[in-house]
């Protein structure tokens, strides 16, 4: 388990860090648009496939077959790939990477769903093989393509696609059924899909919709710096997302314990301080690290964002996995409202600085909300 979690963290972190430190802000902004489409697909997949399947097993004692699960996953991934092609052709900077980006989004989306299934079934050897192969191919392609005089954005997109395809092939291959099974899936898991999908759409409105609103207001270059804030927090997601299925199965009483809350808060603070100090060093010695260098003047805001991103993400997973009374809906409304109004208001009033600080403050407030809601003991699970 530990080796697989570490391999997945390294795989995802390597992709995001390579893009962050090698792409100029404008190219990183373009790359981020396609990556946001993958993130949106992953969020929807969790709501209509992964978590309904897991919750049905926990609360109702039945699970859907791999044939049905993998079919739903591949259909969703295919739709995401088509959307990526269309969106990339509309945005001029993305046209050279329309096909490679679509392949990357398609393969990454399928792999994410397959990985959740494998983790939930404790198939750690398969998960490890998939993660390591994806990591090695991504790094090899990224290192080799510039030698062939491939432009940086295109090289990064092709490397992402190559690693994702290999990782998906090593993961369990889908056993496809007809489209009619999609309706059967929705009927069988409707009880869980409804609230989870509503929650995801609210989350995506703030986490993904807001960047799409901000992008034209900032311009592609400043947008690249703005999106770099989220990538600096990548270690937060890398620690939690690979073990999301495991966290979902832990008893709620353990997650609510004061010692657990204190431990998570300490880890959050360490992440935030580390991010702030690292950016201050980048600025002090004037390192040329692509979009990351442009973020150095915002070290304090980035540290706040990183710290509370970990805290909020942890207790969001707790609330989402156990559906504690009305905590899920209350927390999501608060988080979405803050994630939309503060960054957009900030960019309109103070430009890039306002957008970054608005995001940091919104993350702080929403993290405290999730923590308080998760710590309440009057919630009902179900």
What pLDDT shows up at residue 217?
A: 93
65: left (phi over 0), alpha (psi -120 to 50) or beta: beta
Q: How confident is the model at residue 323 (pLDDT cuts 50, 70, 90)?
A: low
State pLDDT tens for residues 239-278: 787 677 677 777 777 788 888 889 989 999 999 999 999 9
Residues 343 and 327 in one domain: yes
Boundary of a domain, candidates 124, 153, 188: 188
What pLDDT shows up at residue 116?
A: 93
Task: Find the domain containing 346 and state its range.
Answer: 190-382
What pLDDT shows up at residue 196?
A: 86
Residues 127 and 63 in one domain: yes
Q: Residue 90 class from Cβ within 10 Å (0-12 exposed, 13-18 middle, 19+ buried)?
A: exposed
Boundary of a domain, candidates 188, 203, 235: 188
Token reading at 229: 């804030």
Give the DSSP H/E element, type plus range, for residue 300.
helix 299-322
What pLDDT shows up at residue 94?
A: 94
The three-class DSSP label of residue 63 is: coil
What pLDDT shows up at residue 18?
A: 93
Residues 254 and 366 in one domain: yes
Residues 364 and 324 in one domain: yes
Residues 62 and 144 in one domain: yes
Asked whether the predicted pLDDT for residue 57 surpasses 80, the reply is no
What pLDDT shows up at residue 382?
A: 38
Q: How confident is the model at residue 352 (pLDDT cuts 50, 70, 90)?
A: very high
Asked whether the predicted pLDDT for residue 142 surpasses 90, the reply is yes
What pLDDT shows up at residue 325?
A: 52
State pLDDT tens for residues 154-176: 999 999 999 999 999 998 899 88
Task: Report the candidate in 167, 179, 192, 259 with the shortest Cα–Cα distance to residue 57.
Answer: 192
Residues 230 and 336 in one domain: yes
Query: What residue spans of 65-97 are helical by DSSP H?
Result: 66-90
Residues 132 and 228 in one domain: no
State pLDDT tens for residues 8-53: 878 988 998 899 999 999 999 999 999 999 999 999 999 999 999 9
Model confidence, pTM: 0.85
Q: Which residues contact 270 (CB under 8 A, 6 or more apart)?
A: none
Residues 238 and 373 in one domain: yes
Residues 178 and 229 in one domain: no
Specify the number of domains making up the chain.
2
Residues 205 and 311 in one domain: yes
Boundary of a domain, candidates 188, 205, 235: 188
Q: How confident is the model at residue 189 (pLDDT cuts 50, 70, 90)?
A: confident
Q: What percent of the chain has pLDDT over 90?
A: 59
Mean pLDDT of 205-218: 92
Residues 358 and 369 in one domain: yes
CA 138 to chain centre: 18
Asked whether the predicted pLDDT for residue 280 surpasses 70, the reply is yes
Residues 90 and 133 in one domain: yes
């Amino acid at each position: 388990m530990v080796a697989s979690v570490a391999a997945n963290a390294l795989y995802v972190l390597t992709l995001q860090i390579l893009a962050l430190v090698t792409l100029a802000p404008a190219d990183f902004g373009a790359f981020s648009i396609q990556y946001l489409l993958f993130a949106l697909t992953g969020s929807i997949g969790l709501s209509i496939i992964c978590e309904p399947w897991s919750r049905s097993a926990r609360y109702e004692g039945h699970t859907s077959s791999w044939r049905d699960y993998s079919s739903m996953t591949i259909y969703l991934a295919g739709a995401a790939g088509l959307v990526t092609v269309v969106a990339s052709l509309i945005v001029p900077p993305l046209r050279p990477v329309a096909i490679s980006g679509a392949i990357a989004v398609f393969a990454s989306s399928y792999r994410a769903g397959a990985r959740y299934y494998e983790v939930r079934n404790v198939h750690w050897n398969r998960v490890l093989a998939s993660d390591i192969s994806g990591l090695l191919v991504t790094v090899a392609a990224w290192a080799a393509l510039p030698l062939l005089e491939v432009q940086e954005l295109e090289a990064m997109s092709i490397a992402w696609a190559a690693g994702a395809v290999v990782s998906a092939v090593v993961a369990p291959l889908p056993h496809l059924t007809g489209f009619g099974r999609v309706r059967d899936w929705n009927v069988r898991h409707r009880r869980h899909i409804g609230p989870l999908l509503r929650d995801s759409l609210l989350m995506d409105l703030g986490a993904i919709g807001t960047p799409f609103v901000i992008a034209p207001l900032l311009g592609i270059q400043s947008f690249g710096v703005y999106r770099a804030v989220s990538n600096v927090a990548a270690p937060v997601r890398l620690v939690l997302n690979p073990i999301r299925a495991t966290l979902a199965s832990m008893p709620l009483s353990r997650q609510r314990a004061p010692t657990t809350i204190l431990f998570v808060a300490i880890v959050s603070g360490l992440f935030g301080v580390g991010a702030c100090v690292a950016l201050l060093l980048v600025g002090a010695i004037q390192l040329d690290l692509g979009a990351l260098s442009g973020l150095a003047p915002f070290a304090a805001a980035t540290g706040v964002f990183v710290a509370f991103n970990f805290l909020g993400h942890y207790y969001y997973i707790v609330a989402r996995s156990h559906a504690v009374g009305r905590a899920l809906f209350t927390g999501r409304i608060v988080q979405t409202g803050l994630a939309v109004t503060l960054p957009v208001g900030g960019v309109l009033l103070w430009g890039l600085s306002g957008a970054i600080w608005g995001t940091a403050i919104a993350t702080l407030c929403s993290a405290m909300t999730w923590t308080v809601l998760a710590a309440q003991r009057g919630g009902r699970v179900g």
